[in-house]
Chain A
Amino acid sequence: MANLAIDSIKERTFDAIVIGSGASGGWAAKELTERGLKTLLLERGRDVVHVKDYPTTNLYPYEFEHRGETTHADKQANPIANRCYAYKEDSQHFFVKDDEHPYVQEKEFDWIRGYQVGGKSLLWARQTQRWSEYDFEGPARDGFAVDWPIRFADIAPWYSHVERFVGIAGNRDGLATLPDGEFLPGYPLNAVEDHFRNAMNLHYKGRHVISARCAHLSQPQPIHIQQGRVQCQNRKLCQRGCPFGGYFSSNSSTIPWAQKTGNLTLRPHSVAHSVLYDEALGRAVGVKVIDTDSLEEIDFYAKVIFVNASTLNTNLILLNSVSSRFPDGLGNDNGLMGKFVAFHNYTARISAEYDGLLQYRTDGRNPAGGGYIPNFRNVEKQETDFLRGWAAAFSASRYENRDSSGVGQVLKHGLLNSTWSNWRVGSHMMAETIPKEHNRVWLDADRKDKWGMPLLHVSVDYADDDWKRRQDYYDRMAEMYESAGFTNIKTQDDGRRPGNDIHEMGGIRMGHDPKTSLLNKWNQLHLCQNVYVTDGACMTSTATQNPTLTYMALAARAVDYAVNQLKQG
């Protein structure tokens, strides 16, 4: 029996464990396995094998029973998931249904989740921008959160490393606010997006409209072909999973790459319960897992552990990792774990019309989505009565008007003979939010989910400074639209709840000082240094950029450090 137990422990022992197979966990697994570490990749959901498990990917609109709509019953049962822009009849199998994993909303918060191999990397909006030096310096300069323990130069080579493998379409725009990367050819702006860009250059200093940078293979390189990925085919059906591997996901890229090394063990259906801490050794020794099929508890062991469970679940797991040394969560002596959760404010839109350039329209589809306006507020110095700023998406299109009046042949003729509208332009805001101590998550003392995990309380909300930033977006964008000759300008508060931006960040922030932060500059828990957090939970501040590229770069950088530490013994 003793030998059996020893064998069993041996089978459950790896060099490294990664919790979570989304964008950042997939990167950790790829880097660890490439460096020769036997790695266990834990995923709480089911396996999703690239192409094979994309059941809707090649369906035509008429092959969906409800032409893409979700049903009334589904909307009633899953209001949170249904509020996500990407949750449709073609993608709903990749989302967590509301009742599958309950949480406690102290304040209204839409927690959008994808529990499967690949996580939300299957579903993400694929927008990828580097942070700038201004962003890393922000908290220290403006006196909020804590100082980032890294600067742009620390992460720049890792941005490059990730970008080359992922494949990022973009132009070298030469902007200090949005550093250039290792780009594949950018997707072009269209006639009116270009017009807007030119008008901004003419009328303003420092207000740039660039092609949105995105994780699409506009021109695959050998490294992408080796992954089995080919050129993006402009389908824009990405939320179904892409049979071409035209956009980056863990499923199409990092996970199969890690599997090819022979060093990866992928274990789906495995809820990470807690990180196991050995008081005698003074370090973490493994991860306790709940098998979702058998509900059995199984302990796995490793020298190094990466927690990439997605921001809030990473908070949940580490808060739940209690021992007599760490009664309030692993490495949480200062009591800040779960606090200073932040997000991006996406509540504002502005639309207008343009009657020029009617000799053009668009043809085909632009996977980048159009243009991007990097933040230009409070960049060099404080200019406004709110801190930091906002970035914006911008796009222009024409649509086909179909006359649906009348009945009979009149109606049929109207439907089948379209006319083109004038240009319609639209923008949505992506504003920085300031991490606040009272925006936090914590564990319920009694109630547990069906896997025995404590329910997570979420108390995260907007604040007055968010509305000041938004008013500035409305005002600046309206003046910019006017200067470009756009008409019928309309602003819109889309009323979305925090969380619906799907950019929740923080709770286990990086910093210099163990008294005021949880992670050091290598994403190690200050107080348990063989545990690394490189998903959104590590974020000290939010900047305005879509965050996934930064998580992936931090993951690759932290693995490099962890492996070097292990090799040095």
Chain B
Amino acid sequence: MLYIAGGTLVLPACFRQSGRTTIELTHLVVSDADEAMLETLVETLIPATDNPGGKALLLHLFVLKMVDDCHGPEDQQSFAEGLRVFTGWARKELSVGFKDAEKEKRETLLARIDDAGDLVGKFFSLVKRRAIQGYMNSKYVMTNLVKYELVPGRYDGYFPMEKADGITAK
């Protein structure tokens, strides 16, 4: 079986003890608990509604993949430290782990992320940026919500705005 991280086919190289799918990483060391927390974080950022959210689209794995492959050692270290500090800060503020808190409490906490300091701020904006990238470039969004055209076959330089309703192609 293949899993899709934000749309990428990922071989389930291993399963966590929890049974969760994961991916192989070269640089980052991420525990089962870290991964579960990140999964909750991307779901909090982009929740499931009548369509899938961050968890179902495996955006946490996409974030990890990008930080592992496309960022340098400095970013990776600050990501790892930021993740650790965020985890502790969230536990202190919420009295339970971020993963186990209620949705409203998680959202409220993220609204005051600035209180947690620069390290957490940097971590959070990296996760958010990469999660948004993974979401907008996911197969689900690109085929159902903001459709990507591989073969437009046309160009109109005077496309009337009033005709634009319901068309998201560009």
Contacts and interface: CB of A to CB of B under 8 A. Distances in A.
Contacts of B148: 60-61
A407 B154 contact: no
A408 B145 contact: no
A415 interface: yes
Interface stretch (A66-74, A291-299, A344-352): A66-74
A264 B134 CA distance: 47
28 contacts: A60-B142, A65-B69, A66-B69, A71-B70, A73-B69, A191-B157, A233-B153, A234-B155, A360-B159, A360-B161, A362-B156, A362-B157, A364-B154, A364-B156, A400-B170, A407-B45, A407-B110, A408-B44, A408-B47, A409-B47, A411-B46, A412-B46, A412-B49, A415-B135, A415-B136, A416-B141, A418-B146, A418-B168
Given A58-B150, A62-B6, A71 B69 contact: yes
A485 interface: no
B160 A359 contact: yes
Interface residues of A, number: 49
The SS class assigned to the B binding surface is: mixed
Given A415-B132, A415-B135, A63 B8 contact: yes
A165 B150 CA distance: 27
B45 A408 contact: yes
Interface stretch (A150-158, A182-190, A200-208): A182-190
B55 interface: no
B91 interface: no
Given A60-B142, A61-B148, A409 B157 contact: no
Interface in B122-137: 128, 132-137
A260 interface: no
A361 interface: yes
B111 A62 contact: no
A69 B7 CA distance: 15
Contacts of B170: 362-363, 365, 400
A193 B71 contact: no
Nearest to A420: B161
Nearest to A408: B107
Contacts of A325: none
A404 B129 CA distance: 9
Contact of B66 (A58, A66, A366, A404): A66
B151 interface: yes
A394 to B, nearest CB: 13
Given A193-B157, A363-B169, A66 B70 contact: yes
Nearest to A361: B159
Given A407-B44, A408-B47, A363 B154 contact: yes
Interface in B61-109: 65-66, 69-72, 103, 107
Interface of B: 6-9, 44-47, 49, 53, 65-66, 69-72, 103, 107, 110-111, 128, 132-139, 141-142, 145-146, 148, 150-162, 164, 167-170
A234 B132 contact: no
Given A62-B8, A62-B137, A408-B45, A190 B158 contact: yes
Interface of A: 58, 60-67, 69-73, 76, 187-191, 193-194, 233-235, 237, 358-367, 400, 402, 404, 406-409, 411-412, 415-416, 418, 420
Nearest to A416: B145
B21 to A, nearest CB: 16
Contacts of B8: 62-65
A412 B159 contact: no
A420 B110 CA distance: 28
Contacts of A58: 150
A187 B157 CA distance: 9
Contact of A364 (B70, B155, B162): B155
A369 B69 CA distance: 32
B107 to A, nearest CB: 5
Given A60-B139, A62-B7, A407 B157 contact: no
Contact of B150 (A67, A235, A361, A406): A235
Contact of B70 (A60, A61, A72): A72
Contact of A60 (B46, B71, B150, B162): B150
4 nearest interchain CB pairs?
Answer: A190-B157, A62-B7, A363-B159, A364-B154
